[in-house]
Structure 1
Amino acid sequence: MSGIVLSSSVRQNLLSLQSTADLLATTQSRLSTGKSVNSALDNPTNFFTAQSLDNRASDINNLLDGIANGVQVLQAANTGITSLQKLIDSAKSIANQALQTTVGYSTKSNVSTTISGATAADLRGTTSFASSTALSNVLYSGAAGGTTAATATSLLGSAAQGSFTAAAAVKAADGSTNLAGTATLIGTAGAATLIGSSPSDGDTLTVNGHTITFRAGIAPTGTSIPSGSGVNSAGDSSILTDGNGNSTVYLGSTGTPVATVNDLLTAVDLASGVQTASISSTGVATIGAASGATLSSIAAGIATIKSSTGEDLSITGKADFLKALGLTSATGSGNATLNVTRNTASGSLGSLIQDGSTLNVDGHVITFKNAPVPGSTNAPAVPSGLGATGNVTTDGSGNSTVYLQAGTVADVLKAIDLASGVQTFTLNGSGGGTLATASGQINSSINASGQLKLSTGVNADLSVTGTGNALAVLGLAGNTGSATAFTAARASGVGGINGKTLTFTSFNGGTAVNVTFGDGTNGTVKTLDQLNTSLQANNLTATIDANGLLTVSATNDYASSTLGSTAAGGAIGGTLTSALTFSTASTPTQDAVAQTARANLVNQYNNILNQIDSTAQDSSFNGVNLLNGDQLKLVFDETAKSSLSITGVTYNSKGLGLASLTSGVDFIDNAATNKVLTNLNTASSTLRSEASALGSNLTIVQVRQDFNKNLINVLQTGSSNLTLADTNVEAANSQALSTRQSIAVSALSLANQSQQSVLQLLR
């Protein structure tokens, strides 16, 4: 080939064509690879720099898998902690259920002693209560001048009956004779026995609040007599009475009248208390004058109306009827009233007690009644369940009735003493009984100045209230006479344990007790609340019953502990133990039902611990378990200079500080249960702390994972920027080189044409 000689133009065109072919090949290579630098020959600097960037991106990309696995390991641990926290919460619920269930002991360990007279308000008790004396205002008798002091025998009612005597004789209806007691209330017109104005069927008289009713016909007999009522057993039997002052007077008929003026007067006396009626079981009323009483009467047409000594008399009825008896000067069909007042005298109080008045003494009721005392002459028998003493009947429990017709100041004092407990009355079942003064007490009395000396008794402070005028008459209504109560305090001694001390050594780690009993000031203890405040810090509590039995017990928290034992402490001491006899500390008595329930809770708790162990064991990913003590190391860069090491924990039940419980040892009382709760709360805090640490580490790993992904992108982008070709430029170059190649081929062809011309000459 070297022997071939090419012309200068041919060779030049050939070289140009070769150069174009080389450039075209290079351009096509760049288009096919997308890179402008495919080898170190293209651009050594860019080639090796891009290769370095690609290598680093590859190395970091290889680390991403490890980081992703680390994220999952952390997620698995976090999932495990979440489940463990729920299990811990379930265990807490079981422990709280143990706290809320019945205490596991029916009787807790305790010591007790009886303090005489002690109450919750004053634990000191009392050596004794003394009856003090309270004075009333001065009581005066009814003697002239009103300055004579009353005495024990002064009557509560009047010394003599009140009396009203008509001003003139009353004539019979015919006007020829004076009205007599035997005159009938109704009769044939014109008869000499007829009163000027006769009562009609249904008419009434009201006497001291009692009712006298007039009825036509005759009184009932036999079984027709209403229950509880009786018909007069004497005379014409025209009076039916209930024995309480209410009567019915049967008039008979116009042709056969039966009721007389004397019957009417008897009915008035029954209502006023001048006469009394005793009713038998067969309906017979035995009527008689009250002891010492003068009956109302009529003689020679002049009526004399008597009040009882126990109450003023008030008669209200039709004016014409009362005028016909000479009791009023009023006339007409309307009502008129006759009042007969009692008179005071030296033998009675200056003010007389009204019928129906009451005294309430320490919760017991004393009633004043206008009647002779039951069991006296012509008086009804003593009611069943009561006993009579003097002019007083009593139920033996402090409730009494004082009868005004013969009652005295001494009878009132007796009734007050029966109510306060200064005196006692033992019923004998036959209307009597035995009156006695309580041991160490002094009966109430009246002094020479006329003041009541009321003994308070020892049962309670004296409190007297009243209705009617009893308080005022007895000088118990205060200086102004308007007070509604009279009170006086008992004398009391200092509490029996005043100044004594009580000590308890520390019980189950509590604060030792050292208290002194006193008035509640300067650090002394008086009330049960104050004692409990001192005992509370030593896990003890105290109670007292109505008999003064003081009991100091272990609280529910330490129901299983024994006071004074070596293990628990709480030994009792102090000067109080020498003054009083304390019981030996009792051992707690288990409640079988409650302990069974608590044992079931122990089993439930232990099952939870088993689940905690298995959950911690299962919280792994790809063989790594951060809750079972494994460690995790994550490398974040290709040089291993940036890394994160995470040390695992052992969070099974033991690792969390939780131990299996034992029936009969754990959950047996609140203290044991609270100890478990404390451990659970600590475990819960530990889990929360570890969850926070895992969360922080997970955030770090996830941030670094995202950083590496972005860094790989940056490295790869930088590498591409150094080696990638511009396809637009290379495509244009390819088109240009193709055109150049075509032109070069044509030029080469033209260059060869001159030689062909020479060849034609040779032919």
Structure 2
Amino acid sequence: MSGIVLSASVRQNLLSLQSTADLLATTQNRLSTGKSVNSALDNPTNFFTAQSLDNRASDINNLLDGIANGVQVLQAANTGITSLQKLIDSAKSIANQALQTTVGYSTKSNVSATISGATAADLRGTTSFASATASSNVVFSGAAGGTTAASGTTTLGATIGSFASTGATAGDGTTALTGAITLIATNGTTATGLAGNAQPADGDTLTVNGKTITFRSGAAPASTAVPSGSGVSGNLVTDGNGNTTVYLASATVNDLLSAIDLASGVKTVSISSGAATIAVSASQPGAAVSTAAAGAVTLKSSTGADLSVTGKADLLKALGLTTAVGGGNATVNVNRTTSAASLGATIADGSTLNVDGHVITFKNAPIPGSTGAPSVPTGYGASGNVLTDGNGNSTVYLQAGTVNDVLKAIDLATGVQTATINANGTATLATATGQTNSSINASGQLKLSTGVNADLSVTGTGNALNVLGLAGNTGTSTAFTAARTSGVGGITGKTLTFASFNGGTAVNVTFGDGTNGTVKTLDQLNTKLQANNLTATIDANGLLTVSTTNDYASSTIGSSAAGGAIGGTLTTSLTFSTASSPVQDTVAQTSRANLVSQYNNILNQIDTTSQDSSFNGVNLLNGDQLKLVFDETGKSNLSITGVTYNSKGLGLAALTSGVDFIDNAATNKVLSNLNAASSTLRSEASSLGSNLSVVQVRQDFNKSLINVLQTGSSNLTLADTNTEAANSQALSTRQSIAVSALSLANQSQQSVLQLLR
């Protein structure tokens, strides 16, 4: 072919066409492979760098399978631990059921001795008591200056009060008012009746010292028609307690004043078969009563209470007792005065003292059985001015009562004195053996004997507590108390010891009053014994029994195995029984044996569960080791050492019937082991979780790294298809143009050939 000679233009066009064909072939190759670098010839640096990246990505990708298997091994182990934890919880439930089951022994080991008179509140036994004396504040008489001490004969009542009106007239306005004037008249302007506006109407009332006087129209009923317990006297019907009904048909001012005196205690009444006999109280000095004469109405109080009269103002004004007028109420007060013979402060009617649960009532009246007074009620007896029921409850009558009467009533309540009720209504008092009656000293202090039955406790209503100096230094105390003198109990000062029992704290107690570390009550003794796994009880006969707690029901007090030997000075004063051995409860022990069997079944499940917690032949709960490699060099790796978590590996041993679960202590030991196993599982679960987290992080990291490597490799070798497509199009165009140019170059030679033809 060397003989062929091409023209320069043809040769130039041919070379251009060959170059274009080469470029087009390269471009089409890139488009077909998608890579701009297909061999080392294309770009050695990029080709070999991309190949290295791809190789590393491939190596790491091969490791992902192993990492994924490692994740599953960890998941299998974690699932196993979760199941083991549930089995442990089931075992705990069985152990707790054993704790709640009836104690496995019908009788626990115990020692006992009888302490005469001992109770749960006082283990010391029989204690003797002596009466003590308590002092009140100074009580003063009503002597001038207020500094004279009261005495036993100082009266509770005071000098009677008196109030005299003047200028009272009948309805005509000129006739001087007398007791014979009627309360109502045909008209309100007669000389024989009260003024019209003053006349009481049916249903009107007066209130006198808390008692009620009621006005009724018409005549008083016959004695056979009055209510039961009431009595009629002239124009008055009274209930015997100061409440009176005045019948207005012919009632006079004297009738009204008599009703006022019945309410104030100036007069008394005795009732028999519906008839009332009214008399002046024997305690009323000079038989002073309320009167009306020569236009003057005189009101008298009793010695036992001040007088207070509240009623329609017009009625009281007509009697000259008030200047108030109208249909509304007005009040008239008539106060007593104190004297050297009476207390400086008077006790209010109706006040009470509650002494050791017995009630003393103060009443404004003469003592029943006295002249003109009602008879003594059945079952009661009078002594001086004290009426008693013989059981410590009394009424002190204020009109003639004295401080000595109050002291007598207090002694009856405390048991310092006793009362024998006689058939004639009197009471014979006697001082209890070894007791001293309460008294008042020269300084005016009440010296109250507590008695031996109970510590003294005095509360009250009204003002009795204050008047008698029993309300404390400030006068505001609501109770007065004093303790008896107590002797020592039978075992005071004695000691009781127990050596350490089943690892408890040894006991050494001294019996006493409960202070300074001594033991008095059963609760205090049990506080000491419980730390030594012992407990005490006492029965109604004083039998003190010390026995084991439920935790150690299978142990014997004083045995060489359990300890707890008894000692102390009390053992020489009392005879303690020999420590008995516990007696098994067959039914309870059978139940506990069944629980042992259930527990052992759980342990078998723990063993099989731990063996089955494997994946692909690797079991981290059966001692296997897992090694994971994270990079292609093998330098980045994680080794996880397995554990052996069968029952033995968790510190759990099979139980034996008759040995385990026999009492609470044995059961608690099993529970302690289960709690330790549970803690072990939780710790291992935490460790596995941490390792699993690491493995998953590395797994995700490797996946991301592979993507990075492959992306880097692609960036080095991949072609830009858009660019290559454009190049291909341009080269195709260029090739067409080159072919056309070559054709044109050949035309000149063809023209020469045509000439030669």
TM-score w.r.t. the length of structure 2 is 0.68
- What is the identity, as a one-letter code, of the residue corresponding to 1:264? L
Residue 6 (structure 1) aligns with: none
**Residues 611 and 383 (structure 1), Cα distance of their counterparts in 2 relative to 1, 3 Å cut:** farther
Q: Distance in 2 between matches of 1:434 and 1:475?
A: 28
Alignment of 1:385-396 (within 5 A): 388-394=382-388
Residue 563 (structure 2) aligns with: 569
Q: Please give the root-mean-square deviation of Cα atoms over the aligned residues, in Å.
A: 6.4
Residue 184 (structure 2) aligns with: 186
**Residues 581 and 324 (structure 1), Cα distance of their counterparts in 2 relative to 1, 3 Å cut:** farther
Q: Distance in 2 between matches of 1:515 and 1:366?
A: 45
Kept in 1: contact 2:188–2:194 (CA 8 A): no
Shift of 1:222: 7.3
Aligned pair 1:96/2:96, yes or no? yes
Alignment of 1:228-239 (within 5 A): 229-232=230-233, 237-239=234-236
- What is the identity, as a one-letter code, of the residue corresponding to 2:436? I
Q: Which of these residues, 253, 265, 269, is aligned with residue 273 of structure 1?
A: 265
Kept in 2: contact 1:278–1:287 (CA 8 A): yes
Q: Distance in 2 between matches of 1:381 and 1:607?
A: 90
Q: Which of these residues, 363, 376, 380, is aligned with residue 369 of structure 1?
A: 363
Q: Cα deviations across residues 348-373 of structure 1 (Å, max 9, x unaligned)?
A: 44543231233344554432110223
Shift of 1:635: 13
DSSP-derived class of the 2:269 partner = strand
Q: Which of these residues, 605, 609, 617, is aligned with residue 599 of structure 2?
A: 605
Q: Distance in 1 between matches of 2:453 and 2:154?
A: 29
Kept in 1: contact 2:301–2:334 (CA 8 A): no
Kept in 1: contact 2:381–2:421 (CA 8 A): yes
Kept in 1: contact 2:498–2:508 (CA 8 A): yes
**Residues 682 and 204 (structure 1), Cα distance of their counterparts in 2 relative to 1, 3 Å cut:** closer
**Residues 562 and 615 (structure 1), Cα distance of their counterparts in 2 relative to 1, 3 Å cut:** same
Q: Cα deviations across residues 167-214 of structure 1 (Å, max 9, x unaligned)?
A: 799789797898455x54334569998244463224433322322222
DSSP-derived class of the 1:314 partner = strand
Residue 246 (structure 2) aligns with: 249
Aligned pair 1:290/2:281, yes or no? yes
Aligned pair 1:444/2:438, yes or no? yes
Shift of 1:402: 1.4
Shift of 1:250: 0.1
Q: Distance in 2 between matches of 1:290 and 1:171?
A: 30
- What is the identity, as a one-letter code, of the residue corresponding to 2:261? D
Report the count of equivalent residues: 680
Residue 339 (structure 1) aligns with: 334
- What is the identity, as a one-letter code, of the residue corresponding to 2:281? A
- What is the identity, as a one-letter code, of the residue corresponding to 1:337? V
**Residues 625 and 330 (structure 1), Cα distance of their counterparts in 2 relative to 1, 3 Å cut:** closer
Q: Distance in 2 between matches of 1:69 and 1:169?
A: 125
DSSP-derived class of the 2:497 partner = strand
DSSP-derived class of the 2:309 partner = strand
Kept in 2: contact 1:504–1:573 (CA 8 A): yes
Kept in 2: contact 1:362–1:420 (CA 8 A): yes
Shift of 1:216: 1.4
Residue 84 (structure 2) aligns with: 84
Q: Distance in 2 between matches of 1:458 and 1:681?
A: 59
Residue 8 (structure 1) aligns with: none
Sequence identity (%): 76
Aligned pair 1:537/2:531, yes or no? yes
Shift of 1:676: 0.9
Shift of 1:392: 2.7
Shift of 1:267: 1.1
Q: Distance in 1 between matches of 2:253 and 2:580?
A: 85
**Residues 266 and 597 (structure 1), Cα distance of their counterparts in 2 relative to 1, 3 Å cut:** farther
Alignment of 1:107-122 (within 5 A): 111=111, 114=115
Kept in 2: contact 1:195–1:324 (CA 8 A): no
Q: Distance in 2 between matches of 1:171 and 1:452?
A: 53
Q: Which of these residues, 672, 675, 684, is aligned with residue 678 of structure 2?
A: 684
Kept in 1: contact 2:183–2:200 (CA 8 A): no
Residue 217 (structure 1) aligns with: 218
Kept in 2: contact 1:162–1:343 (CA 8 A): no
Q: Which of these residues, 294, 305, 312, is aligned with residue 311 of structure 1?
A: 305
Q: Cα deviations across residues 12-62 of structure 1 (Å, max 9, x unaligned)?
A: xxxxxxxxxxxxxxxxxxxxxxxx9xxxxxxxxxxxxxxxxxxxxxxxx99
Please, which runs of 5 or more residues in structure 1 have no aligned partner?
1-35, 37-60, 637-642, 710-763
**Residues 515 and 360 (structure 1), Cα distance of their counterparts in 2 relative to 1, 3 Å cut:** same
Q: Which of these residues, 534, 543, 551, is aligned with residue 557 of structure 1?
A: 551
Shift of 1:490: 3.6
Query: Which one is further off, 449-458 or 616-625?
Result: 616-625
Q: Distance in 2 between matches of 1:238 and 1:129?
A: 60
Alignment of 1:311-460 (within 5 A): 311-317=305-311, 321-322=315-316, 328=321, 330=323, 332-333=325-326, 335=330, 337=332, 339=334, 341=336, 344=339, 346=341, 348-362=342-356, 364-381=358-375, 388-394=382-388, 398-424=392-418, 435-460=429-454
Q: Distance in 1 between matches of 2:698 and 2:220?
A: 123
- What is the identity, as a one-letter code, of the residue corresponding to 2:211? H
DSSP-derived class of the 1:270 partner = helix
Q: Cα deviations across residues 524-549 of structure 1 (Å, max 9, x unaligned)?
A: 55676765554343123456799987
Kept in 2: contact 1:132–1:491 (CA 8 A): yes
Shift of 1:612: 2.1
Shift of 1:504: 0.8
